[in-house]
Amino acid sequence: MSTFILINKPPGPTSHDIIDKLRKITKIKKIGHAGTLDPFAQGLLLVAIGRDSTKHLSKFIGLDKEYQAALKLGATSDTYDKTGRVSKCPVSKYPVSEIEIKKVLKKFIGKQEQTPPMFSAKKIKGQKLYKLARQGKEIERHPQKIEIKKIKLKKLEIGNWKLEIEVLCTSGTYIRSLAHDIGKEFDCGAYLEKLVRTKIGNFKLENAVELNKINNQNWQDYCISLPKI
C-alpha cells in the first residue's frame, strides 16, 4: 500500500513550498506530489508520503485533471495569467452571446498539440523555461500531445469581460495556454485570472485538507492508503 495526503493548496505558495512544509511536519524527507500547481493557482495536490509511496507517483501523475478556470477577456499577459505583464488588446469584436462562446469553446475539445508557455517549469536542455523567460529570452518549444475531454461554460459576465469554465483534460495540459488560445480564437485576447484544480483522477478537492490544519501530532489522521496501481 502507498500513503498519500490530499492537500488543498492555497494561492501564493509554490507546490514545492507545500512539500517543504510537510517534510517539517512529518519529519519525512521523501515526499512528492502528482502534478505541479502554479503559485497563484489553488486546489488539489495529491501528495505521496515516504520513499515507498513516491516510487509509485508516476502512475498517479498521468491521471486526468479537472479545473475550474476564470478568464479575463480583452487583454493578454506575457505569462498567460494575472501574475504577468498585462496588455489591453485593440478589440475588433467581442463574443456577446452565450451561444457564440459555447461554439468557440467546443472547438478546443479533443486530441491536439499544445505548445508549453515560456513561463513554465518545463525544462529544455536542463534549463527551466521560466528562468529564461525572466531574462527576456524565448526559445523554441515543441508542441506536446494533450486531450481536452470537456469544456463547460459555468459563468459569463459580459459587462466585465469575464467567463468561467470547467475543464477536464489529460495530464500535461497547460490551462494558461488554453486561456491564451481561447482569447486568440475570440480575437479579443484572454488570460487566466483564477485557477482551481478540483480533481486528479477520482481524487476530489472536497476530500482534501488545508495545510494549516495539519501538525506533527495529527498528520497521520489525514493519510489515505492506496493500492500500488
Catalytic residue numbers, as ranges = 38
| Residue of 50, 3, 5, 4 whose CA lies nearest to 211 | 5
Which residues, 6 or more positions from 77, have their beta carbon under 8 angstroms from its beta carbon? 83, 84, 85, 86, 87, 191, 192
CA distance 206 to 105: 27
CA distance 101 to 163: 9
Query: Torsion over CA of 128, 132, 138 and 139, rounded to 10 degrees?
Result: -40
Report H helices in the chain: 15-26, 51-54, 58-61, 98-106, 129-134, 175-186
CA distance 146 to 143: 9
What residue type is 95 in one-letter code? P
Q: What are phi and psi of 182, to 5 degrees?
A: -65, -40
The angle formed by the CA atoms of residues 203, 162 and 10, to the nearest 5 degrees, is: 40
